[in-house]
């Protein structure tokens, strides 16, 4: 089932809300503003639907607070680029600095801040909506005209599948992801400290004080970053007082649809989420910078650790790190990645 409604009216035009549901009622509400996931309804152990992503009660807050990236599609480059600078074939490009001396999530006007074209489609997997936009040459300093598509699909087995495609007419860098904050007890139902998490990664990319990685990977063995076994987040936070904001190097077996890159579960709701991706890395961010200043869903103000992000991605600052998987996209080549969030009862 698919329903389309008006969401809000803004300076770029009208934003719509597309509601996708399967026969069991599992489903997603997505807006064409920022190709953003607004709500994700998942049945708990008692059959009650819980909205497991953070967001806002007031639709216009997605426009006013777009820099919080709640549920948004992130591009042209997700995560950080050091000093807002990179080179392609000896030509240097300079991006706006919106995170100290670095560029974060594509700059001030990243993909999260635009209204996208939208098309409701039916696929073999289920009901879907395809968002597309042309990111023009020079947008936020990035070279090349980049045509981007993001398709959200709700499947019969209670999964939300995100498929990204991009093509360019000039060499550029691309790194796309989704920035949803998950709380498996439901948005507005407290923090995630009692959630348990598992990430299938034997190493991570250590960072400096500005969260820029060094040109290396480090084993998680005997560190606070070892999440290869089920770990309660409160236990992890006892060792990391600011929580996580780290890129994990996924095991090669996770690069696809068969082995989950990450799993999260809540004993309170009984909901378990599995994350599958074709990407080489995943950023775990546990919401340390949520400070009570954001008016969230159901009348609450989001505090620290009220949601976690699992951002499937190439590594931060990869354009400046020759040993990292490349994010270079050339004319005639196609960028493609798929990330799936599948839900079940634990």
* Residues β-bridged to residue 273: 264, 343
**Residue 197: how many other CB atoms lie within 10 Å:** 22
Catalytic residue, candidates 105, 112, 179, 195: 179
Query: How far apart (Å, rounded) are the C-alpha atoms in residues 207 and 245?
Result: 10
Catalytic residue, candidates 112, 195, 311, 314: 311
258 is an active site residue: no
255 is an active site residue: no
The single residue listed with the structure tokens 């970053």 is 225
State whether the Cα torsion 260-264-266-267 is positive or negative.
Answer: positive
What does 114-155 look like in DSSP terms, one character per residue? SBPEEEEEE-SSSEEEEEEEEE-TTGGG--S-EEEEEEEEE-
Query: How far apart (Å, rounded) are the C-alpha atoms in residues 34 and 20?
Result: 17
Backbone angles phi, psi at 139, to 5 degrees: -60, 120
Structure token digits, residue 138:
């020079």
The candidate with the shortest Cα–Cα distance to 262, out of 179, 168, 160, 342, is 342
Residues labelled catalytic: 179, 311
């Amino acid at each position: 089932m698919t329903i389309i409604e008006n969401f809000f009216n803004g300076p770029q035009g009208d934003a719509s809300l597309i509601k996708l549901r399967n026969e069991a009622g599992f489903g997603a509400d997505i807006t064409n503003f920022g190709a953003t996931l607004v709500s994700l309804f998942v049945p708990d152990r008692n059959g009650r639907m819980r909205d497991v992503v953070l967001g806002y009660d007031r639709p216009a807050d997605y426009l006013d607070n777009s820099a919080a990236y709640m549920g948004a599609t992130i591009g042209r480059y997700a995560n950080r680029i050091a000093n807002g600078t990179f080179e392609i074939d000896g030509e240097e490009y300079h991006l706006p600095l919106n995170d100290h001396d670095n560029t974060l999530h594509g700059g001030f006007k990243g993909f999260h801040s635009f209204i996208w074209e939208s098309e409701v489609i039916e696929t073999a997997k289920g009901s879907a909506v395809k968002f597309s936009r042309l990111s023009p040459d020079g947008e936020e300093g990035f070279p090349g005209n980049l045509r981007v598509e993001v398709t959200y699909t709700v499947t019969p087995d209670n999964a939300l599948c995100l498929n990204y495609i991009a093509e360019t007419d000039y060499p550029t860098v691309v790194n796309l992801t989704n920035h949803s904050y998950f709380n498996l007890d439901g948005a507005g139902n407290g923090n995630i400290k009692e959630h348990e998490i598992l990430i299938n990664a034997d190493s991570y990319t250590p960072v400096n004080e500005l969260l820029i990685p060094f040109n290396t990977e480090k084993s998680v063995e005997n560190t606070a970053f070892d999440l290869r076994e089920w770990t309660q987040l409160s236990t992890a936070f006892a060792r990391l007082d600011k929580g996580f904001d780290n890129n994990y190097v996924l095991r090669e077996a996770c690069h696809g649809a068969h082995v989950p890159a990450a799993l999260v579960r809540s004993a309170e709701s009984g909901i378990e989420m599995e994350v599958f991706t074709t990407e080489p890395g995943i950023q775990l961010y546990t919401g340390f910078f949520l400070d009570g200043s954001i008016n969230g869903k159901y009348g609450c103000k989001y505090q620290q650790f009220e949601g976690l992000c699992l951002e499937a991605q190439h590594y931060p600052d990869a354009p400046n790190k020759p040993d990292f998987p490349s994010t270079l996209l050339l004319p005639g080549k196609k960028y493609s990645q798929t990330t799936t969030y599948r839900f079940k009862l634990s």
